[in-house]
Amino acid sequence: MSPGRLLLGAAGASVTAYGAWLLWSRREPADVLDAAVWAGGAVLVHDVLLAAVLLLAGLVLARLVPAVARAPVVVGAVVLGSLSLVAVPVLGSWGRDTDPTNETLLDRDYVAGWWVLAALVAAGVLVGVAVRLLRARHARP
């Protein structure tokens, strides 16, 4: 393992340990348990659901998408899939009814925001495909 990776891993472990100490020292044990359940659930959703869906999508895309566009499409799918998964609670407006007097609770049109994000990711994919096409065209003799 390279020294850069070791340094990056040590920095990540240090920040994680500091965050865990802050959580443990400033919150009630029930809150710490909730955070642990949430973090474990996030890992399970990522490793079981997102990884499986992306694996299947990758198999389908490998057959349907031309080779020059595969990398940008895969990057776009990973970015949009990950961000969509994180945004599920706000897209579903979960928790909006918990405090009807709080007008600032989920007060935006998050679905419209997700569509803007999807359009930006699609634009990035198109730019990536265009760059790869131009490079391939210039590389030919």
| pTM of the entire predicted model | 0.62
Per-residue pLDDT of the chain (141 residues; tens, 9 = 90+): 899 999 999 999 999 999 999 999 999 999 999 989 998 998 998 889 878 887 888 888 889 999 899 999 989 988 998 888 888 888 888 877 777 787 778 888 899 999 999 999 999 999 999 999 999 888 876
Amino acid identity of residue 45, one-letter, is V
CA atoms within 13 A on the CB side of 13: 6
